[in-house]
Every structure is written in C-alpha cells, then in structure tokens.
Amino acid sequence: MLPVLIYEEENGDCRCTSCGICAKVCPPQCIWIVQAKALDGKPKPKANEFYIDMDVCMNCGFCSEFCPFDAIKMDHIYELSNYERHKSHVYNMQDLLVSTEYYGQTHPRAWAKELAVKEEEEKKKKAKEAAAAAAAKKKAEEAAKAAAAGAGTTAPVAPVGPPKEEKPQ
C-alpha cells in the first residue's frame, strides 16, 4: 500500500496544509514538503511541492495515521516494479494526488466514517450557532425590557414624613 494525497472533488484543493507532521513521523524520512509562499513572501498553509521516495517508503502508514487534516491516505496500489528507479519512484505532488471520489470508491467504509464525522461536526456547528443566536435574542429582549421599564418611571420623589417643625428665632 502506498501513500496518496487527497484533493477535494468540488473545488480541486488539496487537503495538505504542509504542516510537516507526516515528514516528522516517517521512520525512513522519505517525505519532503516545500511550503507555498504568498506574493509578499509570507508562508501559506498549502504545499507547493510534495515528494515521496517510494523506494525508501516502508509502507508503515504513520504518515496517514498522524495527518490531522486527512490529507494523506494509504492506497491499495502496491505494484511498483520497473527497470528504472531513480526518476520514476520519486513521486511528486501530481503523481500522488487522488480525488475524494476515488478514495470513496476504493475505501468505502473509511469514507462513510469520514462523512459521518463531517456531518456530526456540521450538526454541532449549527447547534452552536443556533444557541448563540438564541442567547443574542434573549439578551436583546432583556435590554428592551430594561429600556421600557426605565422609560416608564418618573423622577425620584422625596420621602413623605411628618412636617418639620420650625424653630422660633
């Protein structure tokens, strides 16, 4: 089984953010990543270049296990034999990219689980947004009640008590 990079079918964006965790946990150190840079020279959370040397890769799957973005997965392709190895066995980003649709077809159970997790996250997000909206509405209602109660009162009145006695001079 060989590692592949997943890209989103809808927009074509690769999930990889070039965090480098896969390269750090790789026992034989066969993964190289070059982070993309913006026009102003600041790093962007995107991989500009991504390489895996398949001759060195021991197919342990640590890269896919530790990837926090599910960007790298293990594929069922295992046949690499050919008569040349120095150029054709160092896979670049274009060689590694597979779509989410392909991954869903080759790994149906894992894909179904991933979709279920995404749906659960969306439900939690919507519930959180609904709770925030309800809290904002309640706060606005309380503020309106306080404003209405404040507008209905008059100026404070002096306490009424027995008349003060005047002292003769």
* Rounded Cα distance, 117 and 103, in Å: 16
Render each residue's pLDDT in the chain as its tens digit; 169 residues.
789 999 988 888 898 999 999 999 999 999 999 999 989 989 999 999 999 998 888 989 999 999 999 899 998 877 777 777 667 788 888 888 888 888 888 888 888 888 888 888 889 989 899 888 888 888 888 888 888 877 655 555 556 656 666 666 6
CB 33 within 8 A of CB 5: no
* Rounded Cα distance, 63 and 70, in Å: 10
* Rounded Cα distance, 121 and 49, in Å: 30
Supply the pLDDT for residue 148: 80
Supply the pLDDT for residue 147: 81
